[in-house]
Amino acid sequence: MNRAITKPFLYEHVARIGKAISSPKRLELIELLAQGEKTVELLAEQARIDTRLASAHLRTLREARLVETRREGKFIHYRLSGPDVARLWINVREVAEEHLVELRVALEQMAAAPDALSSESRESLLSKARSGEIVVIDVRPEAEYAAGHLPHARSMPLAELERRLADLPIGTEIVAYCRGPYCLMSDEAVRLLRRRGYTAHKITDGVTEWSANGLPIES
């Protein structure tokens, strides 16, 4: 090893990643970008923060090489610099869930909710969706669905769901998903469907979790 390169120098560069993801909002931005490329304005809207603050967070992520940009006219589009960044988010989240009791208890309460489909394996879900035994709906915005979605899933954005209920069969179980275990859009979708007489559940997986487990994603 070059004597000019010291262990502190190496650790310092690895720590840049830790510093970049040390903010809850930056973690949320990574989760949002795992769904596909987005503009600063859209990220700010979805993360419910000011555009300036979103830009500052994104600049920090870019300095750590976790995101990349491209310009289209007056708009700057952000994307993750690689699928390993999405896996980093999942790994950090899983370590937190394993070691932080408060987080684990909160997630267990969410999983115990009556709208959660907790006993179904991913492979079984895929098989049932393929055969038409269940209907899987993706309640994220349509652009996120287009970027990548679970096999056999239909795009039914939450904002459009109520007026598109006629597209769903009454006698078939509906399974909704969104961006992952911390996303609540699927909860809202299930409540709406049940009020209208549908048999509906949600799964906590999103495309990031599905892909991280080696299962196919369609686009």
What DSSP element (H or E) covers 69? strand 67-72
Query: What pLDDT score does 4 carry?
Result: 72
> C-alpha distances in angstroms, 206 versus 34, 49, 217?
10, 23, 10
pLDDT confidence tier of residue 184, bands split at 50, 70 and 90: very high
Residue 1 pLDDT class (50, 70, 90 cuts):
low
Residue 84 phi, psi dihedral angles, 5° rounding: -65, -25
Residue 42 has pLDDT above 70, yes or no: yes
Quote the pTM value. Answer: 0.89
Distance between CA atoms of 136 and 128, rounded to whole angstroms?
9
User: Average pLDDT in the 40-49 region?
Assistant: 97
From residue 174, give the alpha-carbon distance in Å to each of 1, 62, 154, 168: 58, 39, 11, 8
> Which residue matches tokens 């070691």?
99
22, two tokens: 């040390």
What is the spatial distance between Cα 125 and Cα 22, in angstroms, rounded to a whole number? 35
Mean pLDDT, to the nearest integer, of 143-153? Answer: 96
The confidence score (pLDDT) of residue 84 equals: 96
Strand order in the sheet with 200-202: 154-155, 134-138, 173-177, 200-202
Burial of 110 (0-12, 13-18, 19+ CB in 10 A): middle
Is residue 94 a contact partner of residue 49, using CB atoms and an 8 Å limit?
no
Q: Which residues have C-beta within 8 Å of that of residue 81, sequence separation ≥ 6? A: 65, 66, 67, 68
Token pair belonging to 163: 């007026």
Phi/psi at 177 (nearest 5 deg)? -145, 160
Residue 26 to residues 16, 56, 218: CA-CA distances in angstroms? 14, 10, 27
pLDDT category of residue 108 using cuts at 50, 70 and 90: confident
In the numeric block, the tokens 């992520």 are attached to: 61
pLDDT given for residue 219 in this prediction = 84
| Active-site annotation, residues | 178
What is d(CA 22, CA 35) in angstroms, rounded to the nearest whole number?
21
